[in-house]
Every structure is written in C-alpha cells, then in structure tokens.
Amino acid sequence: MKNKIFIIILASLFFSSLHAQSTDLSLILNGNTDYVNLNTSSSQPSITTEFSVESWVKFDTSGILQPIVQYGICNGADHSFNAQLSTNSTLGFSINDNGNCNNALNATTNDSIAIDYNSCYHIVYTFKAPQETHIYVNGSEMTSSNNGFSVSSVSPSYNNFKVGAYENHSGVLSYFKGGINNFGLFNTALTSTQVLDHYNNGITSSTSYLQIFYSFDAVNAGTGQTVSNDATNSSKFSGTSVGVGTSSPQYSVAQCYSSAGIDFVSYNTQLKAYPNPVYGTLTIESKENITIAEFYDINGRLILSTPVVNNKIEDLQRLALGMYHVKLHSASGKSFALKASIINK
C-alpha cells in the first residue's frame, strides 16, 4: 500500500528543543501557601517607562485568579503592576498609578484561553508608557485591549515582589496553582520578533535587558529556600521560597509535552489550522490576513517558504518526513507560530 504523508498540527503548546532537557525544572506551587518572595527593601529591579514579563506556565486549574507576578501593592503612594490568568480565563495585567487602584491601566485579552492542563504556555506581557500594552501566548500576539488610562512611569517603592501570588491592599493573598518555569523580567518592551525568538529558542542569563531570570533549576522544597536570580547583569535580585512543594526537583518540563495533536485554537483564538491530520492542503482561518507560511527544520534551517492563497497552504506532501517549526506571517506584519510533524500512514 502506498504511503500517504500527513501533517499533524501539534501546536505551540510544546517547549522548543532547547527546553527539552532533564535539568530544566519548573517550580510547583500548590495554590494555597506557595510563592516566591523577593525582598526589595534595599534595591529594586530597574524598570520605569517600559517593561516585559515572560514565563512558561502550566495551569493545574482555571476559574480562579491565577497570579503570575506582582510588583508593588496598590496602596499609599506606590506604583505597582500585576499579571495573571483571570477567573474568566482571560489573560490580563494592571499597572496602578500612585497607589490608587482606580487609577490603573488595565489590559486583557478579548477572548478566553481554553486551558489544557497537560500543556505548558509561554506567556509574555509588555508595557510602554503611557499606555501601549501587548499580550502574547506561545509566540503569537493575542487580540487584546486596554482602558486607555495613561501611566507615566512604573517605579514601585513598596517592599513587595511576588512570583505566584497576589496581595491586595488589605493584605489578603491569592495563589497560583500549577508550575512556573524560566520567569523573566525585562526593563524594555519586547518586540513581537523578540517574543517569537524567546518562544522558539528560550532565554539565558545573558539575554538582553534581563533584570530577573528565575530558571528554578536549583530550588529545594520548603519555606526559606533561596531562589537565585540567574540574570548576568542583575544577580542581586534573588528571592526566597514560601512553602513550595514537597520534593526537589519538582518536575521536568518534559512532563509539559503532549503526545497528541491539539487544535491550534485551544490556545490562540485568533487562528485555526485544520484538518488534523491533513493530507496535502492545510486550511488557515484567522482574523488576520495570513499571506506567507515558512517551514523550518529542527536545526532552524528554512526548508519551504510558500504563499497562503485563499486561506490554504497547498502541496505539503512535498516535504520530507520530520518535525517542522511553522511561522505564519500576516499582511499587517504579525507572526504566528505552530509546529507540524510529517509522518507516514
């Protein structure tokens, strides 16, 4: 029987090959008492008019507030920001001006994220004064909006920087439940090109503009353990674990991989790619006008660049068997990422 070539859309819910190492560990947080606290009383990360927050996360639940990071508290004369998965499964973040919770730039994705509890998500939030905000998932920008409030600068003075928790002005905490890996704070608003590169290739201690880089690769379980800042330029911002797990290491990112095809829409409601599996022709549905598709092999070499005509990518059976990174480019200049595996059946 003649072999047929199929492409299975595996989606960008995977780590790139750079992350597929047994030593790359994530921090497991129980959703009740666990988080990482950075003591900023003597010095603070240097962010003012722009910043970005980046992390790989694995959600163990939804329908509750899932705080990823908080810097400062909406209290007194303090500036602050916080980023999270909200109770309605939208991604959002707030930047509070001068301690007034009502004077805040609030940004959120227009659509909810359909959470797959067996998958990991690369999430990036960016801000540039006075009101430019962007939210990315797995290398692709999500459709989002903000309330238009202007914030001139972000320079929290309150002694409060938490990963995996949010403290309100009354001192009540909410906690993240799941895994957090390779958390980064940058003192620049990352571009879409930089975000896509970080998604595909990861970040390292020497990545440009890094203020904080928590890889969580050497964190012991329990309260009071040191969480080292691996950023070359700002190693002084080490944190301390509160609670955190019952064993060390917590888990390898390999456990975030999924072995089955997942509909692209499950994490990015801007785009669908189908059927799954597909023979020959891949159909793209998107709010964006997708014009070009590029197929890269696992070594990053461009194998095929082909136009997307009438929302279709034709003649994919010409590709050799193997795994491909696929970049889709729109007429408006946006890029989307997915992965495809070509197999015989």
CA separation for the pair 37, 164 (Å, rounded): 9
pLDDT at 40: 56
Q: Is the pLDDT higher at 249 or at 19?
A: 249
Work out the mean pLDDT of the chain and round it to a whole number: 76
Q: How far is CA 59 from CA 67, 124, 336, in A?
A: 11, 15, 22
pLDDT at 197: 86
Residue (of 71, 65, 66) closest to 95 by Cα position:
71
What φ, ψ does residue 195 adopt, rounded to 5°? -60, -45
Residue 174, beta-bridge partner list: 166
**What average pLDDT does this structure show over 2-21?**
37
**Residue 198 burial by CB count (10 A; 0-12/13-18/19+): exposed, middle or buried?**
buried
Q: Is the pLDDT higher at 118 or at 303?
A: 303
Q: Is the pLDDT higher at 185 or at 249?
A: 185
pLDDT at 41: 55
Strands across the sheet containing 144-146 = 144-146, 100-109, 91-97, 80-85, 66-71, 161-163, 35-38, 239-242, 226-227
**What average pLDDT does this structure show over 41-60?**
82
**Fold for the domain defined by 21-255:** Jelly Rolls (2.60.120)
Q: Is the pLDDT higher at 227 or at 306?
A: 306
49 pLDDT more than 60: yes
Q: What percent of the chain has pLDDT over 90?
A: 24
Angle at 284 between CA 134 and CA 145, to 5 degrees: 20
Q: Would you say the CATH fold of 21-255 matches that of 5-13+258-344?
A: no
pLDDT at 343: 56
Pick the CATH number of 5-13+258-344 from 3.40.50.300, 3.40.50.150, 3.40.50.720, 2.60.40.3080: 2.60.40.3080
55 pLDDT more than 90: yes
Q: Which of 103-107, 128-132, 245-249 has the lowest mean pLDDT?
A: 245-249
Would the pTM count as exceeding 0.85?
no
pLDDT at 120: 77
- 97, 77 contact by CB (below 8 A): no
pLDDT at 118: 65
250 pLDDT more than 50: no
Could you read off the pLDDT of 312-326 as tens digits, one per residue?
A: 998 888 887 766 777
pLDDT at 269: 42
Domain map (residue ranges) of the chain? 5-13+258-344, 21-255
Structure tokens at 12: 């960008």
pLDDT at 99: 58
Contacts with 149 (C-beta within 8 Å, 6 or more apart), sequence order: 97, 103, 104, 105, 106, 131
pLDDT at 1: 39
Q: Which of 21-25, 122-126, 197-201, 214-218 has the lowest mean pLDDT?
A: 21-25
- 142, 135 contact by CB (below 8 A): yes
